[in-house]
Structure 1
């Protein structure tokens, strides 16, 4: 076959997204006669999409030098930029900085006005964003977007407008920022962008949506990314990250076995190339979360350790695992440590919700009221349904523990409605369990039974063994032989019969003395007695101790 014919077929294969065929044809053509700079860029693209990172960088470097030799400054600068970005995304900051500096030097030395100036703003933009300077990042993104618009470069516009949207969301202008993100994703799904930029924008957008609790959008874009990956069966780039995102979405949907499988497949996919250490560690963490919820604690711990080894913070999952294992002190220490070193309100939100659960479990719910207030402020600032559900659930759980059942029901009903609309069955079931307990405290035994049965059935369907065991172990609510006493009132009566004072009972149950006074008054009224001695006699006569 004529070398020129192979080259033409290689170009056609690349245009059709047949990455393996393109790489083979262009490589053969290169062996016969060295490719020119533009065709080397095509070969580099094929290598990237096949996950051949080293080949991508070496080929792109050849293209860079070929452009320089041909006095083609703009494409040489762009190749240097992409080399720097590839290294930066893999955590190789020093060589990345070197390539960015080279690109700047070449560009400034020529004194030209071209779209490459916009690309060279991206490293500074990313640096500002990583440092939490969202105003600064937004300003640079706006400047780069204007350059992209002036030169009609859709790739540049997509890369920087999405960052502009991200900055606005983090500045509390969620509606405005998400509108920009949606605009960029329209260009992605319409096929207006180059394949490398398409994959980058997909992955960046999904990761961002998850980080700011925009899970509906994360779900929609993950489905779109999955379809894009399926259309290119020999593509390796982005497929591992896509599987990690799918695992996270599947867990939320309650498809835990599928989530585990996708997380495992992600790890396998990374071995084929385009390795992303952070995403691989994130996949391990996701496996740990599913194992923990299923009650496979040894497997969960192993996965959390692998995640930590890969550079991913294994919290709050590890703290919740320790709580499930009965080590409340370790759970408190872990969650306190990670919250103490986390400043960003959105990063703190999931950690704070976990600390509320832990503090309630160890009998220190009063310490969690400040955490509830922080969650509520973050939810209000972001306007996120997920954060709203989390804050209402936390508030309701704390109120219930403080014997404020009526107030708790208001918060919990709101949380349940939001989790249900978000199609999050596990979270919804956790809230229904709390609603059932609140109903029981208010002597609504029918309501309690229905809510607890709904929670039990959901846990059974999900395979949430620890939660299922907890619900099944709950005592019956105000049964006839309990003489109308709630579970909490029977608990107080047993302590009264044991000779405890109200102050001692309050300390034992971690409640206020005023709350115990109210419980004792209710007990006296329900069983028809007027003294502690008579209440004690009643308890023994009716087998309530």
Structure 2
């Protein structure tokens, strides 16, 4: 029995017009009446892929492999096997994916000059980079690019350039990396690359922008990718990944209800399609719950993310900080920092460590801020520069240099405002208010604090407000004491020696002595006992 020619033409037209559901329905009915030619079977597999019907895709694509093998098309069968293996690995079916890739290698071994070898080299290069072998990954990426050039294959050229850009980034050659990444996207933007491999590069570009903390570029590439996905709708996999990156932007811009809704949708859509992206979606759900003070829901989301293979740091450590377990947060971040030397992987961990204010996660607070500053400057990162400015401001205030501290905090505030990050802006305002109190400008401090609290209330950051309020439950006359000097005075009132106070506050014994000298001078008191007595009288204790 043969299939109906008119309906077959209709199925092919629907596929060419990217009407995936219509094309699939026609192909399925035709297939029930008789065997499809291998190209039509491959078209049916493509329909299933774009619709996110991955089990059906794998089953159909496996038949494509068999038919191409039967026809003696080793190169076509090898590429088809590879295009089964990659999605299987992506959705977490490691054994099946490895088996299909092994079959692809065996089939292509008989076709030594086939361009399809470039895709195997590409996978090997990604594996090398993930394992930390940057030099090996770069050599393999160069071979991919060479194959692409020799065969005039834009997809391989784009992927080879992109991977070389990633390698340059890992080596700290940021200008070179940006040039390579931008060049890689030229054939992608021009529609000259195979669509499924183009989608992969769009997603990787968004990821790189977020790793760099370059939110303006992340915004640009997210919008570009969203437009591209609409042209291949529903493009379930790529649309889901794009939604995760959109969530990251919405979170920074303070649109938390929409971000949470999108993150939960992405987690549902990506289940069974991409285990890594699904894990990231669950992590984003956890971050949004944590920011809203919903700590139990945040922990549950972090646990789901961990179950899919993502270490839920630094969010889980910050959750422990929010719950009052600062030591546990410090331990977690210390372990995470010890586990990586990659600067862009360390950057968010360093930012969290600075937030915790610890000296056990890879160095003293000063060293943590210095490292993050170096990463930010080397990578021209708007986000990490803002975080580093805030960190320097807080440290300068702790060291008693309120004037320099206020300057750094104002710069951080300006940078966050340029990015459009209301939560981070409000937090910096609160810290600037503390410094203004230390400088004796209580009126400005009060205005900053009220504005920051209003911004946090609008966001729904009730937990952050409670934490800030707990830190300053009642504003009393402090005679110009800085926040750090108040902390030292409180620790002294608890009976601590200079060494014990230094250990508790993560500062040196000499710094404690300097703070005490400033306290005596500002309060006009001659001794520790008199200073503590003053603090009790003014409700600081």
Say whether the 8 Å CA contact 1:441–1:488 is kept in structure 2.
no
In structure 1, the residue matched to 2:306 is 308
In structure 2, the residue matched to 1:333 is 331
**The residue matched to 2:357 in structure 1 has which SS?**
helix
Q: In structure 1, which of residues 280, 283, 288 is the aligned counterpart of residue 281 of structure 2?
A: 283
- Return 5+ residue gaps in structure 2 as ranges: none
Structure 1: how far apart are the matches of 2:137 and 2:429?
A: 42
Superimposed CA distance per residue, residues 438-477 of structure 1 (whole angstroms, 9 cap, x where no aligned partner) = 2222223344334323322221221111222234456599
Cα pair distance change 1:150/1:521, threshold 3 Å: closer
In structure 1, the residue matched to 2:151 is 151
Superimposed CA distance per residue, residues 143-195 of structure 1 (whole angstroms, 9 cap, x where no aligned partner) = 21232233232222233322222122112122222233233334334433333
Superimposed CA distance per residue, residues 268-320 of structure 1 (whole angstroms, 9 cap, x where no aligned partner) = 3235xx52222222211111111111111111111112222222211221111
Say whether the 8 Å CA contact 2:237–2:274 is kept in structure 1.
no
Cα pair distance change 1:308/1:507, threshold 3 Å: closer
In structure 1, the residue matched to 2:124 is 124
How many residue pairs align between the two structures? Answer: 540
**The residue matched to 1:152 in structure 2 has which SS?**
coil
CA RMSD of aligned residues (A): 3.4
Superimposed CA distance per residue, residues 241-262 of structure 1 (whole angstroms, 9 cap, x where no aligned partner) = 2222221221111111111100
In structure 1, the residue matched to 2:340 is 342
Cα pair distance change 1:501/1:303, threshold 3 Å: closer
Cα pair distance change 1:433/1:117, threshold 3 Å: same
In structure 1, the residue matched to 2:398 is 401
Structure 2: how far apart are the matches of 1:415 and 1:29?
A: 63
Give the structure-1-normalised TM-score: 0.87
**Alpha-carbon deviation of 1:507?**
7.0
**The residue matched to 1:238 in structure 2 has which SS?**
helix
**Alpha-carbon deviation of 1:114?**
3.5
Q: How does 1:166-181 map to 2 (within 5 A)?
A: 166-181=166-181
| Greater displacement, 447-456 / 36-45 | 447-456
In structure 2, the residue matched to 1:384 is 381
1:448 maps onto 2:445 in alignment: yes
Say whether the 8 Å CA contact 2:362–2:368 is kept in structure 1.
no
Structure 2: how far apart are the matches of 1:394 and 1:482?
A: 24
1:16 maps onto 2:17 in alignment: yes
Structure 1: how far apart are the matches of 2:269 and 2:497?
A: 63
In structure 2, the residue matched to 1:431 is 428
In structure 2, the residue matched to 1:255 is 255
**The residue matched to 2:364 in structure 1 has which SS?**
helix
**Alpha-carbon deviation of 1:530?**
6.2
**The residue matched to 2:15 in structure 1 has which SS?**
helix
In structure 2, the residue matched to 1:458 is 455
Structure 2: how far apart are the matches of 1:134 and 1:496?
A: 51
**Alpha-carbon deviation of 1:25?**
1.7
**Alpha-carbon deviation of 1:263?**
0.9
Say whether the 8 Å CA contact 1:118–1:144 is kept in structure 2.
yes
**Alpha-carbon deviation of 1:130?**
1.4
Cα pair distance change 1:336/1:224, threshold 3 Å: same
**The residue matched to 1:120 in structure 2 has which SS?**
helix
Say whether the 8 Å CA contact 1:19–1:235 is kept in structure 2.
no
Structure 1: how far apart are the matches of 2:127 and 2:496?
A: 61
In structure 2, the residue matched to 1:69 is 70
Structure 1: how far apart are the matches of 2:502 and 2:107?
A: 74
Q: How does 1:84-95 map to 2 (within 5 A)?
A: 84-95=85-96
Cα pair distance change 1:280/1:421, threshold 3 Å: same
**Alpha-carbon deviation of 1:515?**
4.8
Say whether the 8 Å CA contact 2:488–2:516 is kept in structure 1.
yes
Say whether the 8 Å CA contact 2:115–2:148 is kept in structure 1.
yes
Superimposed CA distance per residue, residues 208-254 of structure 1 (whole angstroms, 9 cap, x where no aligned partner) = 33234333322222222223334455442323222222212211111
Cα pair distance change 1:200/1:478, threshold 3 Å: closer
Give the structure-2-normalised TM-score: 0.88
**Alpha-carbon deviation of 1:366?**
8.4
Cα pair distance change 1:486/1:332, threshold 3 Å: closer
In structure 1, the residue matched to 2:165 is 165
In structure 1, the residue matched to 2:4 is 3
Say whether the 8 Å CA contact 2:75–2:111 is kept in structure 1.
no
**Alpha-carbon deviation of 1:34?**
1.6
Cα pair distance change 1:508/1:300, threshold 3 Å: closer
In structure 2, the residue matched to 1:267 is 267
**Alpha-carbon deviation of 1:49?**
0.6
Superimposed CA distance per residue, residues 186-207 of structure 1 (whole angstroms, 9 cap, x where no aligned partner) = 4334433333223222222222
**The residue matched to 2:67 in structure 1 has which SS?**
helix
Structure 1: how far apart are the matches of 2:312 and 2:425?
A: 24
Structure 1: how far apart are the matches of 2:363 and 2:313?
A: 23
Cα pair distance change 1:494/1:244, threshold 3 Å: closer
**Alpha-carbon deviation of 1:527?**
5.8
Superimposed CA distance per residue, residues 2-41 of structure 1 (whole angstroms, 9 cap, x where no aligned partner) = 7112222212111211111111122223333322222222
